[in-house]
């Protein structure tokens, strides 16, 4: 080891041991360049980490939308701030409302690689899995984040209907916080189910505005890691823009999920990418605008039941009305294969089939391997992939599950007329709401 490296190592060790409360101290550039240590070197580099979480009640597909908000925010931040190396820490997936399968092992703390291709995400922004962040951020087992902002709506705006940008620190109501004080500068909390993560500062932020407006709260000279909770409150910076769609296109699924869906399509739905003209480049960056995707010879429907039957009873049809609408479209298109993606109970699915005896009605049933490896979230994605390659798709009004399928079909290159269709309350012609076409 050179004399310079020995000297720098001594300074780094002293700085870590005796440094100020924020954990930063002055050190020469030569030391940060030449000292080849793990966390010690990382402490004095320009690496900064953004973490986030959302309302626990939010579902899988809304959380995917929140990711896009954060990704576009980080992309803009990186373009404007060249001083620091910004990275987004991907929040592990936990047990959600629709993830109710039993005897398949834990559905807590699932990494993003279970569902998505990390390399594809990294081609848009620098992202890192939580377990990788924990290895990189601290050599010890305990992880202490620097600052947590809890985003809160301004309820007065919703009462008056007068909305304006707001980014205001307010006193926290500690009785209602999910985070609990352990000491003068230390809080515990849910932190995606990890019990070894704490945070030094908790601040409540009354916020209304675009996600990028949160950049003023980062304070990278003071904080190395900043977390935002209730990130669903922040709005899209560029919803529907080219940048939005670049972020969305980067969200390629785990490639094994594509393979499983492709094999199912070929085996049960007589559908291949060659025949359906749906072949895509391996790299999403190489995708180009087109509207000539044909799709496999089947109609796909997303039939949302369970909570929607009550929460959206004004728009959710009965099983019989659903069958009548599907029959009308199947006959119009001359199709005999129907694929159903649904959270309905098995008796409702059997009822639907009973009304459609002239068609082959299918749904994906995962093998033990698939359900145990990819869990309920992976099975839902397989359903979405199969729907996204259909000749014609009909969705459920106001369902984020449907929205994600429509986005995939826009990316693949289907005609909008085959994509933005929905089940109606009754078997009558109903108006299709406005939709966001892809921007290249």
Annotated catalytic sites, by residue?
58
Cβ-based neighbours of 7, under 8 Å, separated by 6 or more = 31
Rounded-to-integer distance, Cα 395 and Cα 377, Å: 19
Q: How many CB atoms lie within 10 A of CB 329?
A: 15
Among the listed residues 146, 154, 164, 163, the one whose alpha carbon sits nearest the alpha carbon of residue 205: 154
* DSSP structure class, residue 280: -
Using DSSP's 3-state secondary structure scheme, residue 258 falls into helix
H helix and E strand count, the chain: 15, 13
User: In 155-241, which residue ranges form alpha helices assigned H by DSSP?
Assistant: 155-160
Rounded-to-integer distance, Cα 116 and Cα 434, Å: 29
Which residue reads 């490896």 in tokens? 373
| Phi and psi based region of residue 413 (left: phi greater than 0; alpha: psi -120 to 50; beta: remaining) | left
CB of 393 within 8 A of CB of 300?
Answer: yes
Burial label for 139, CB within 10 Å (0-12, 13-18, 19+), is: exposed
User: In 278-359, which residue ranges form alpha helices assigned H by DSSP?
Assistant: 307-311, 319-333, 346-354
Tokens of 133: 């962040």
* DSSP structure class, residue 96: -
Among the listed residues 158, 309, 245, 190, the one whose alpha carbon sits nearest the alpha carbon of residue 440: 245
Which residue reads 């012609």 in tokens? 429
Rounded-to-integer distance, Cα 135 and Cα 148, Å: 20
CB of 425 within 8 A of CB of 309?
Answer: no
CB of 148 within 8 A of CB of 53?
Answer: no
Q: Which residues of 148-185 are buried (b: 16+ CB within 10 A; e: fewer)?
A: bbbbbebeeeeeeeeeeebeeeeeeeeeeeebeeeeee
CB of 232 within 8 A of CB of 58?
Answer: yes
């Amino acid at each position: 080891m050179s004399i310079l490296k020995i000297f720098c190592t001594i300074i780094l060790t002293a700085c870590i041991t005796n440094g100020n409360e924020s954990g930063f101290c002055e050190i020469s550039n030569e030391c940060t360049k030449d000292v080849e240590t793990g966390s010690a070197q990382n402490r004095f580099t320009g690496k900064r980490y953004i973490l986030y979480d959302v309302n626990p009640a939010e579902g899988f597909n809304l959380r995917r939308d929140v990711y896009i908000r954060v990704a576009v925010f980080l992309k803009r931040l990186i373009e404007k701030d060249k001083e620091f190396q910004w990275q987004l820490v991907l929040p592990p997936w936990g047990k959600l409302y629709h993830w109710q399968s039993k005897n398949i092992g834990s559905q807590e703390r699932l990494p993003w690689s279970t569902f998505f291709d990390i390399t594809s995400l990294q081609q848009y922004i620098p992202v890192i899995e939580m377990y990788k962040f924990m290895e990189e951020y601290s050599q010890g087992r305990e992880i202490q984040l620097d600052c947590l902002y809890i985003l809160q709506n301004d309820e007065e705006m919703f009462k008056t209907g007068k909305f304006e940008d707001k980014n205001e620190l307010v006193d926290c109501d500690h009785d209602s916080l999910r985070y609990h004080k352990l000491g003068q500068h230390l809080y515990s909390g849910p932190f995606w189910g990890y019990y070894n993560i704490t945070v030094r500062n908790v601040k409540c932020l009354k916020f209304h505005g675009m996600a990028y407006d949160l950049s003023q709260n980062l304070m990278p000279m003071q904080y190395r890691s900043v977390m935002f909770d209730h990130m669903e409150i922040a709005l899209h910076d560029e919803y529907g823009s080219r940048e939005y769609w670049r972020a969305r296109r980067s969200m390629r699924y785990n490639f094994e999920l594509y393979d499983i869906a492709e094999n199912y399509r070929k085996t049960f739905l007589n559908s291949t990418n060659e025949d359906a003209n749906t072949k895509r480049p391996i790299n999403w960056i190489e995708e180009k605008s087109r509207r000539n995707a044909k799709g496999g010879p089947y109609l796909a429907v997303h039939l949302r039941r369970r909570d929607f039957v009550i929460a959206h009873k004004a728009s959710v049809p009965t099983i019989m009305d659903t069958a009548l609408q599907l029959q009308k479209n199947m006959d119009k298109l001359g199709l005999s294969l129907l694929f159903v993606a649904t959270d309905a109970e098995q008796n409702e699915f059997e009822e639907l089939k009973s009304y459609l005896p002239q068609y082959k009605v299918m749904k994906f049933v995962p093998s033990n391997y698939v359900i145990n490896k990819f869990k309920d979230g992976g099975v839902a994605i397989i359903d979405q992939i199969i729907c996204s390659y259909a000749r014609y798709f009909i969705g459920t009004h106001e369902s984020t599950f449907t929205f994600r399928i429509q986005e995939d079909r826009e990316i693949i290159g289907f005609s909008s007329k085959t994509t933005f269709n929905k089940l109606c309350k009754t078997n009558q012609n109903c108006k299709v709401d406005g939709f966001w076409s892809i921007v290249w």
